[in-house]
Structure 1
């Protein structure tokens, strides 16, 4: 499967949102966060969140595109400190969409906001403990199921690692356990495991995540951003 890595555009946002949903809806986090919300109810939020990331300073959103079909088959979000911004200038329609969803914070009705708050409080605490000023941060990486095992995730990972290596910078990761083997292959070491018990909030099950960077390692659950 030949593919090209390029910067994402405003027009890509709906497809990026779908990849986000498809890649993470099997996780316990999803069922507890959106227990009675269907995909159509979540898609506007995810699309607005993608637009918000596209216009965020220092956030580089890169997509893997199938050379034959033009389909986006995966994408990653890299935060590169001090890097000239890759901000996308939104069209009036894109800007209206983003503003209409409170910059990605207009959550769907029946979303478990208490689960969301607990998770992000835990995540923020880990980031404050481990992320240093000059660290690169891999915020997100996902591929569609059909493209998994075909080098797409590796290429999206290498895109940021090459830039980090040029600065001799560490890279902090936040990932589900689905990506654990890939990051271990590239030399990350576990720092800490975070476990969120959804039963404490009246939900079901639990989710464990590990945290990681290129000298050490921190893995967290991704996909709800």
Structure 2
């Protein structure tokens, strides 16, 4: 296995969408289970979830405040085996055109649950950093690894990539960790700051400080 990290392109989006849908599947992820409740009864809706993930990641790729990278395995003909999405605010980029509106979500999508999730996350940004929210940190929005490629250190490679570049910018790193993800972030130097309940499950607001 020879893993390298590079910035993502449009050609990577199908693989990213599939990985996101599999790594954060409603059967294993509490947030996805609330956003796509019907999926638990009808597995044929998996295609709708992949399509929604594709639309979201397409918007992220064109956002001036997002940086998406992929981990590729050279031993698997450069197969995309994981991805990370960072929110990296830039005053210069704020004047660039914003991504166009996305197509409507699939019928299985719970709009109210998604709005509740966004409100919880936004509130944590304000609690952590005040009025400017995440504009002065590198925010890890997503880190996903192909379930068939997990437990090979790919997540840490992706995480280290972002941490290194945030350090170069002299910016702290921030994330909201799931219970399953918390051990990786703790081992990498993130400090637990506060518990954030999301849909009845304790998530963890965490910070890695470069500015001391």
TM-score tier after normalising by the smaller chain length: 0.7 to 0.9
Which segment is superposed worse, 126-135 or 3-12?
Answer: 126-135
The structure 2 residue matched to 1:39, chosen from 38, 46, 49, is: 46
TM-score by length of 2: 0.83
Kindly state the Cα deviation for residue 196 of structure 1 after the two structures are TM-superposed. Answer: 2.9
Partners of 1:140 and 1:174 within 8 A in 2: no
Q: Write the distance in 1 (CA, Å) between the matches of 2:87 and 2:35.
A: 25
Q: How many residues of Structure 1 are paired with residues of Structure 2 in the alignment?
A: 193
Counterparts of residues 196-215 of structure 1 (less than 5 Å): 196-197=198-199, 206-215=200-209
Q: Write the distance in 2 (CA, Å) between the matches of 1:186 and 1:65.
A: 21
Summarize deviations over 1:152-208 as a string: whole Å, max 9, x none: 1111111111112123321111232221111000121211111234xxxxxxxx322
The structure 2 residue matched to 1:55, chosen from 51, 62, 66, is: 62
Partners of 2:140 and 2:173 within 8 A in 1: yes
Q: Write the distance in 1 (CA, Å) between the matches of 2:35 and 2:89.
A: 31
Q: Write the distance in 2 (CA, Å) between the matches of 1:116 and 1:178.
A: 21
The residue number in structure 2 matching 1:91 is none
For structure 1, the residue ranges without an aligned partner over 5 or more in a row are 86-97, 198-205, 217-225
Summarize deviations over 1:112-157 as a string: whole Å, max 9, x none: 1111111111111101221454211111111112222212111111
More helix by share: 2
The residue number in structure 1 matching 2:122 is 124
The residue number in structure 2 matching 1:78 is 86
Partners of 1:7 and 1:61 within 8 A in 2: yes
Q: Write the distance in 2 (CA, Å) between the matches of 1:84 and 1:48.
A: 25
Segments of 4+ in structure 1 off by > 6 A? none
Q: Write the distance in 2 (CA, Å) between the matches of 1:29 and 1:128.
A: 21
Q: Does 1:164 align with 2:183?
A: no
RMSD: 2.1
Matched residue of 1:109: which SS?
coil
Kindly state the Cα deviation for residue 29 of structure 1 after the two structures are TM-superposed. Answer: 2.0
